[in-house]
Amino acid sequence: MRTKKAKKARAETIGQILDELYPTTPVPLDHKDAYTLLVAVLLSAQCTDKRVNMVTPDLFALADNPHDMARQPVDKIQHTIRSCGLAPTKAKNVHALSHMLVDEFDGEVPGTLKELTKLPGVGRKTAQVVLSQWFDVPSFPVDTHIHRLAERWGLSKAKNVRQTEDDLRELFDESTWNARHLQIIFYGREYCPARGHDLETCVICRQIEAGEL
């Protein structure tokens, strides 16, 4: 079993590799403000970013703020996002959270984890994405992809994403969290997929396999 010091050293080297490959970390979901980002992140559950970016132009043409969205019938929202997975549930949540934003937050997206996770359909991961990518609050959102890579890279043996988040927060400097979670996602998609993984193109796993990392 690797010591905490060894894990931290590995994480530092992985961070250097990620910084070289992804010096900038553009937000993959199209948005113009905190509300449109929040909705886009909610829609991205069990759906690709590419698909979400195909759906949101029509959705935001229908309503791009909580006041207007709250006035839309749920079935109209659902029809607009029908190509996203779990569209019926997502439509209800988009409608309900828009109402709550109007009724309890003066139509503004709150900037704290506690308040964000009160919103319908907004879990810890979704809230942290909004906090990190819009409010620039140091956060380490962990989805199933980051959870998988943290285990593959020997950075965490956690059984759930919350514990993986805690492990990664300890290993990476707080100043890197907002970029690091995006870099890991980008790297996983490009070089370290769950299937069809090739050590020849995955420098991180290749070095780990060779005992160099």
Structure tokens at 61: 């043409």
User: Which residue type sits at 5?
Assistant: K
111 SS3 class: coil
- The catalytic position among 7, 90, 143, 167 is 143
Burial (0-12, 13-18, 19+ Cβ within 10 Å), 28: middle
Is 49 noted as a catalytic residue in this protein?
no
For residues 129 and 139, what is the distance between their CA atoms, to the nearest angstrom? Answer: 8
- The catalytic position among 118, 125, 157, 167 is 125
112 SS3 class: coil
Backbone torsions φ then ψ of 179, nearest 5 degrees: -80, -35
Structure tokens at 9: 């050293």
Is 143 noted as a catalytic residue in this protein?
yes
Contact 122, 141 (CB under 8 A): no
Residues with catalytic function: 125, 143
